[in-house]
Amino acid sequence: MIAPAELVRSRGGRYATALGIDLVAADSGERFKWLLAAILYGARISEPIASRTWREFAARGVLCPQRMIDSGWNGLVTLLDAGGYVRYDFKTATKLLTVCTNLLHDYAGDVDALHAAAKDTRDLESRLKALGKGIGDTTVGIFLRELRGIWSLAAQPLSPLALLAAQKIGYLRPDNQSAARALKKLQQIWEEDGQKVDGFADFEAALVREGLHLRRAQSRHSK
């Protein structure tokens, strides 16, 4: 069975890290950059297109709420199209403007302030969804999963994709154990491999990547 740290090396860790986002930085702007990425990843579109689109925003320096609003709807559509995000360009441009407007109005544009205002994990999820129509469970799950160990209230259930991969690799038995128990077991396996607790999100992301690979393979075989 492959060691957890080796899985991270082979599959890759946090998606945020791959984009050059420093989630543990003191600057809350880094967390906003990841929120933008999570919104892009949250649509039914491929990961390479979402990543390429995020990099278009980065190349133009449109990575904070005010810059997005200043870009306007047409400017955001242009950026989305440049990254290949053409299927959801109009809808996503509208969504981003709404999210940024509400974030500025309610939290002075600071996603860390949103976290600080939340009473518990459920309230945190509700506040994120309230930023704009179309911010649903998938986007919130992607966003908070990589903030596990960074934000105290980021306590998402284990991703079904991560659970699938963990069972296939052999970290977990293929039974009906709860997601909470599975998460605890994987955290234990990570620590027993000599890894730092705050790096578990990298292991979880690697499992998600492996889970996506397995799901694509299953889809090809079923055709």
Q: For residue 31, which of 107, 132, 138 has the smallest C-alpha distance?
A: 107
Whether the CB-CB separation of 18 and 209 falls below 8 Å is answered with: no
DSSP 8-state code for residue 148: B
Q: Which of 136, 169, 198 is the last residue of a domain?
A: 136
The total domain count for the chain is 2
φ, ψ at 61 (rounded to 5°): 70, 25
Tokens of 108: 């002075």
**49 with 128, same domain?**
yes
**102 with 190, same domain?**
no
pLDDT for residue 219 is more than 80: no
Whether the CB-CB separation of 16 and 208 falls below 8 Å is answered with: no
**190 with 119, same domain?**
no
Average pLDDT of every residue of the chain: 93
> Is 149 domain-assigned?
no
- Residue-wise pLDDT tens digits, 169-196: 999 988 767 888 999 999 999 999 999 8
- Residue-wise pLDDT tens digits, 74-107: 999 999 999 999 989 999 999 999 999 999 999 9
For the chain, the C-alpha Rg in angstroms (whole number) is 18
What is the CATH classification number for the domain harbouring 45? 1.10.340.30
Which residue in this structure is represented by tokens 């694509």?
Answer: 216
Distances in whole angstroms, Cα of residue 44 to Cα of each of 49, 134, 153, 164: 11, 12, 27, 20
**83 with 39, same domain?**
yes
**32 with 130, same domain?**
yes
Task: Please state which of the ranges 80-84, 112-116, 139-143, 154-158 shows the lowest mean pLDDT.
Answer: 154-158
| Structural domain range at position 183 | 4-11+158-222
> Is 43 domain-assigned?
yes
Question: Average pLDDT, stretch 41-66?
Answer: 95
